[in-house]
Amino acid sequence: EKGIDHSVVKDFKLAKDNELRFEVETNQRVKLVLLDGSAELFGTELVHSRSYIFESGAKIAVFTWFGCSIRLTGKNEAAYVSKDTPMIIYLNTHAACEQMRKTADQEDIRGPRIMVVGPQDVGKSTVCRILLNYSVRMGRKTTLLDLDVGQGGVSIPGTVGALTVERPADPVDGFELKVPLVYHFGHTSPNGNIKLYETLISRLADVFNAKCDYNRLIKHSGCVINTCGWIKGQGYQCLLHAAQSFEADVVIVLDSERLYNDLKRDLPDFVNIILQPKSPGVVERPRDVRRDYRDSKIKEYFYGPRKIYFPHAFDVSFQDVELFKIGAPSLPDSCLPLGVEQEDTHTKLVPVTPGRDLVHHILSLSMAESLDENLIETNVAGFVVVTNVDVDNQVFSVLSPAPRPLPRRYFLIMDTRFIDINK
């Protein structure tokens, strides 16, 4: 309970269908205890009398269907109780999806493929979490497909991935990330390489379909697809591509009538598109808060939640690895011989010789065992961050969650950088 200001204690009594919202102040921690009644946190039931400790910056809502009392200990910003929540709408959506899962069980067909879309900061990830939690509480094995490269729900930012959820998220630490399937994208917006982004979405869809083919429970449980908040222009095209690739049959549009109308026009009639309000509790995050959040996700990858792990630092010899970036700048048409068409260079693998400019970059270690495999469409084993490059001695230093030796030799370079201030 280090870092909790025990002089600040407040009890809240919540009537049924109410929600307690609070944010943990910077450099503070807050302890939450359910004293009485029942309550849930983004769809996970809270255990009576247990201490839940939230870290600096956490934005929390605790909802109760039947009424409860809660004690908060520690400095928090503006804790308040609201009865204005869309939880009943989300519960109804869950009930409709569960009905589709029952039909899927009976007829051995695919369960609902639910895609959640909307602008930035409308609570897309939170709605995904609630729907996943409710479904696993019914005994389902629902898959989260995270296409939000900006925040990284399944792994670090700059990746897309899939995670089959078997138990409700931990109220503090979120879903157990035991065996996520992760693909390297390298940028924190699809804009970084649209062609690659769409290639990865198609790949994820294929992999998920294959999983459904050999596991009925996974097939009938369906999936929840989290998307980016970029909904204009090419961002919108990416959403259409995702809906088509995954053959989404339910699309939940949060808080954007315009997007809802566009999707109604562009998606086939059998897709069930629903417009739903965002929760008034969702907190807007300015650019710097998003950046800090991204940094904290990366830090958590190396150090674990609450810094419970120690990452390993070691040197890697240039000759033991091969580095690539994805995408080469295309040649201007005037440089091409007459009659030769521009080749698509966006998903081209470009070998890179390590240099000083690699410092602080994150590298994804591909699971590929040889270059005969398509590196771009192969999942990754994990990540390291480059902390130093010694060109004279042909070695670079890394921070890695696992000790030496590296299990594979092919690395993909991310645009994303991480400066380890723990050193």
- Rg from Cα positions in the chain: 23
Nearer to ligand ATP, 283 or 402 (CB): 283
Site string for ligand ATP, 114-153 (x = CB under 6 A): ------xxxxxxx---------------------x-xx--
CA distance 355 to 244: 41
Among 44, 189, 276, 279, interactor with ligand ATP by CB under 6 A: 279
From residue 209, give the alpha-carbon distance in Å to each of 185, 212, 215, 247, 416: 21, 5, 10, 10, 30
In degrees and rounded to multiples of 5, residue 88 shows phi and psi of -65, -35
Q: Angle 47-49-55 (CA atoms, 0-180°, nearest 5)?
A: 80
Q: Taking the complex as a whole, how short is the minimal distance between the CB of residue 41 and ligand ATP, in angstroms?
A: 10
Following DSSP, what letter does each residue of 279-303 receive, concatenated? Answer: PTTPPP--HHHHHHHHHHHHHHHHH
- Minimum gap (Å) between residue 81 Cβ and ligand ATP: 11
By CB under 6 A, name the one of 97, 132, 201, 282 that touches ligand ATP. Answer: 282
- 354 near ligand ATP, rule: CB under 6 A: no
User: Judged by CB under 6 A, does residue 59 bind ligand ATP?
Assistant: yes
Phi, psi of 122 (to 5 degrees): -120, 5
Nearer to ligand ATP, 246 or 396 (CB): 246
Q: Can residue 382 be called a binding residue for ligand ATP (CB under 6 A)?
A: no
Cβ 313 to ligand ATP shortest distance, Å: 31
Q: Quote the CA–CA distance of 207 and 103 in Å, as a whole number.
A: 23
From the list 92-100, 243-251, 264-272, 274-282, the region that binds ligand ATP by CB under 6 A is 274-282
Token pair belonging to 51: 């201490």
Does residue number 61 form part of the binding site for ligand ATP (CB under 6 A)? yes
Nearer to ligand ATP, 79 or 321 (CB): 79
SS3 at position 250: strand
Q: Which is nearer to ligand ATP, 239 or 375 (CB)?
A: 239
Residue (52 or 318) nearer to ligand ATP, CB: 52
Identify the helix (H) or strand (E) that includes residue 117.
Answer: strand 113-117
Q: In whole angstroms, give the CA distance from residue 51 to residue 41.
A: 13
Q: Which two tokens stand for residue 58?
A: 């956490």
Of 74 and 354, CB closest to ligand ATP: 74
CB 100 within 8 A of CB 109: no
123 versus 327: smaller Cβ distance to ligand ATP: 123
The residues of the shown chain that bind ligand ATP, judged by CB under 6 A, are 21, 59, 61, 120-126, 148, 150-151, 229, 279, 281-283
